[in-house]
Amino acid sequence: MRLSELQKAGRAPGLPLSIELADAAGSEPLQLLTLLRVLPGQRYVGAGLWRGRTVLAKLMVGSKASRDVQRELTGVRLLAEQGLSTPQLLADGVQEGEGGWLLFEFLEHAQSLGEAWSDVELLPVLADEQQAVLAEALAAIGQMHLKGLWQEDLHLDNLLRQNGTLYLIDGAGICVEEAGKPLSRQKVLENLGVFFAQLPKSLDPFIEELLVHYLLSNGEHALPLEALLKQVEKVRAWRLNDFLNKVGRDCSLFSVQRGSLALRAIRREEEAAMLPVLDKADALLDKGHLYKTGGAASVGKVEVAGRTLVVKRYNIKGFTHWLKRFWRPSRAWHSWREGNRLAFLGIATPKPLALLETRVLWLRGRAYLVTEYLSGPDIIERFAPYQDSGDAPESELQALDALFADLIRERISHGDLKGHNVFWANGRWALIDLDSMCQHRSLGSFAKAYARDRARFMRNWPVSSALYQVIDQRLPKTSE
C-alpha cells in the first residue's frame, strides 16, 4: 500500500499492512502490525517491522504531511542535541504527493508514566508509590527546562520508562526558547501548569512539596506557588471546555454521528460493544430488571455478552410532552455530557458508555443512555443499620465529606440528591441520575442550588435520628 492510499483507509485499516516508503528500487517496505494512535487521513502511529527489526512508525499523510514530519524531526533533534533521552530515530523521509514517515527504535517492554500512575492513582493521596511516579516525571521535566526546552503537550504518557531510563517522546510537541539555556520562569510556570492541571485536584495541597523533585533537577528560578496555582486553574478550565466539546463530536475519544434521523455518541473504545446495545435497547429493557418504568423515563439493568449495564430510556409521554422536548437537547444528552464532566473531574459516577437520540427531520424524540452498572448499595441501604446509633463507618463518612467538598469546589449541584441517587462503589460515593445536574458559573446561583441539594439530602433520614445529627454536623451548611 502507498501512503496516499493509507490516507483514505479511515480510522481502522485492516492489519497487517505493507507500506511503501520510497520510490527507490530495492527499498524495503514497512510491515505495519499494530496501530497505537490514529488521526484519520492525517496520522497513523503504530509498531511494525522494517529491515528485520521492530520499529515505532509515525506515518503522516494528507496536505500537512511534510510540515508534520518536519515538526517532529525538529523536536527529536532538539532533544538529542541537548543530551536528553529519546528513542533513536532510524529513518525519515517525505514523498511528494504521498506523505512522510519517521521510524524510531521500539522500546520493548517500556511503560509510560501514565500507565504507572494508573496503577497507583486509587491509593491514598500522595502515597509513596504516587510520589515516586510524580518525582520521576518532575525530574525529567526539570532536566528538559534546564536545557531551554518544553513539551507543549505535557502529560505522563509522553514519558516512557524502560530499564531504569526515562525517555521523552512526541517530538512534535517539543518547543524551544533558547537551546542550552534554562527556560524563563514564565515558561516554566506555564508548562508546569499544564502538568499539574492533569493531576487530581486532591494533590493541589501537595504541589509545593512535589516541586522539590523539580527543583532538584532545575533550581534556576524561585517558583511562586500562588502564580503556579493560578496557572493550573487556568489550564484546567481550558481542558474541561475542550473535553466537553469532544463529547459531542467525532474524535479519538468518542464516535459521534449526527443526522436528521439520530444523534449517536459512543466512547470510542466501546463502539463495537455498544452498537448492538443501542440497536436493541427496547428489547433489552423488556427482558431486563426494571428499576423504573413508564412516565418520563424507563430504567433497567440488562445483561449483554456477560456484562451488566444500565439502560435508561427517556420517553415521550404524548404530543404535548413532545412539543416541550423536540426543540431542545434531550435529557439523555444532558446526562451524557454531565456524566462525562464528573468523570473528567474525578467525581465518581457510572461511566457513560453510549447515547442515542432518535429524530425525525432533526426533531428529537425518544432517547437512550447506556452506562456502567454499579453493584454497590445506595446510601440509604448502606447507612440503614446506623440510623439510630449514628455509628456509621468513619471511612464512609469521610468519603461523604470528600464528595460534598468536590461538589462545592467545582460548584456542581445535582438537582435531586435523594439517597437512591448516591451509591457506594469502590470506596467512594458515586452520583447517578444526572438529568438536573449543573455546574454553576456564579457563586450566587450555586449557593442557592447547594442549599436545596443539602436540604434534599438530609431529608433521607428522620431529623430525630442519631445518623441525621452526625451527617448534619459534618456537611458544610453553606457553599462558602
Place of cell 423536540: 326
Residue 480 has pLDDT above 80, yes or no: no
At position 479, the amino acid (one-letter code) is: S
Return the pLDDT at 327.
60
Neighbours of 352 (CB within 10 A): 26
The CATH code belonging to domain 3-105 is: 3.30.200.20
pLDDT given at position 24: 44
CATH code reported for the domain at 254-372: 3.30.200
Q: In this predicted model, which residue has the larger pLDDT, 325 or 393?
A: 393
The pLDDT, as a whole number, for residue 325 is: 67
Omega into 16 within 30° of 0, i.e. cis?
Answer: yes
Element (H, E) at 208: helix 207-215
Instruction: Report the distance separating Cα 424 and Cα 329, nearest Å.
Output: 30
Q: Which residues neighbour 27 within 8 Å (Cβ) at sequence distance 6 or greater?
A: 20, 21
Task: Give the Cα separation of 401 and 438 in Å (integer).
Answer: 20
Asked whether the bond before 276 is cis by omega within 30 degrees of 0, the reply is no
- Would you call 293 helix, strand, or coil by DSSP? coil
Helix axes 331-345, 225-246, angle to 10 degrees: 150
Counting residues of the chain whose pLDDT is more than 70, the rounded percentage is: 97
- Kindly report, residue by residue over 344-359, the tens digit of the pLDDT: 999 999 999 999 999 8
15-29, 99-113, 130-144, 299-313: range with lowest mean pLDDT: 15-29
Reported as type and span, the H/E element at residue 195 is helix 185-197
The set of long-range contacts for 42-48, using a CB threshold of 8 Å and a minimum separation of 24, is 42/68, 43/68, 44/6, 44/9, 44/13, 47/106, 48/16, 48/19
Instruction: Report the phi/psi class of residue 163: left, alpha or beta, with left for phi > 0 and alpha for psi in -120 to 50.
Output: left
Q: Report the C-alpha gap between 438 and 141 in whole angstroms.
A: 36
Q: Which residue has the cell 464512609?
A: 396
- Give the closest residue to 450 by CA, choosing from 442, 12, 236: 442
C-alpha 363/C-alpha 325 separation (Å) is 9
Number of C-alpha atoms within 13 angstroms, CB side, residue 12? 6
The C-alpha atoms of residue 128 and residue 131 are separated, in whole angstroms, by 5
Helical (H) or strand (E) element with 278: helix 271-279
Burial string for 360-378 (b: 16+ CB within 10 Å, else e) reads eeeebbbbbbbbbebeeeb
Which amino acid, residue 228? L
Euclidean distance between CA atoms 151 and 429, whole angstroms: 36
Higher pLDDT, 239 or 328: 239
pLDDT digits (tens, 9 = 90+) for 183-226: 999 999 999 999 999 999 889 999 999 999 999 999 999 899 99
User: Tell me, what amino acid is at 73?
Assistant: L
CATH number of the structural domain 111-239: 1.10.510.10
pLDDT over 90 at 290, yes or no: no
Please calculate the CA angle 429-404-334 and round it to the nearest 5 degrees: 75
What's the farthest any 2 CA atoms get from each other in the chain? 88
Q: What is the mean pLDDT of residues 369-386?
A: 95
Q: Is 52 left (phi over 0), alpha (psi -120 to 50) or beta?
A: left
Q: Residue 479: what pLDDT? A: 75
- Residue 137 half-sphere exposure toward CB, CA atoms < 13 A: 28
Average pLDDT over residues 228-232: 96
Q: State the pLDDT at residue 205.
A: 93
Give just the sign of the alpha carbon dihedral 285, 287, 289, 293: positive
pLDDT at 321: 63
Domain residue extents for the chain: 3-105, 111-239, 254-372, 379-474
C-alpha distances in Å from residue 394, one per residue of 10, 359, 466: 52, 49, 15
Residue 65 pLDDT grade (very low, low, confident, very high; cuts 50, 70, 90): very high
Mean pLDDT of 245-270: 92
The predicted-structure confidence for 298-326, as pLDDT tens digits, reads as follows: 889 999 999 999 999 988 776 676 567 67
Query: Which CATH code is given to the segment(s) 379-474?
Result: 1.10.510
Got the DSSP string for 441-461?
Answer: SSHHHHHHHHHHHHHHHHTTS
pLDDT (tens digit per residue) in 126-177: 999 999 999 999 999 999 999 999 999 899 999 999 999 999 999 999 999 9
Q: What is the pLDDT of residues 426-463, one digit of tens each?
A: 899 999 999 999 999 999 999 999 999 999 999 999 99
Phi, psi (degrees; rounded to nearest 5) at 338: -70, -35
For residues 120 and 129, is the Cβ–Cβ distance under 8 A?
Answer: yes
pLDDT at 23 over 60: no
Same topology, domains 111-239 and 379-474? Answer is yes
Strands 17-19 and 30-39: antiparallel
Cell of 348: 465518581
Q: What is the pLDDT of residue 25?
A: 43
Q: What is the mean pLDDT of the chain?
A: 92
Query: What whole-number distance in Å separates Cα of residue 139 and Cα of residue 216?
Result: 7
Give the integer Cα–Cα distance in Å for 428 and 284: 29
Would you state the pLDDT for residue 246? 95
**Residue 61, Cα to own-chain centre: how many angstroms?**
27
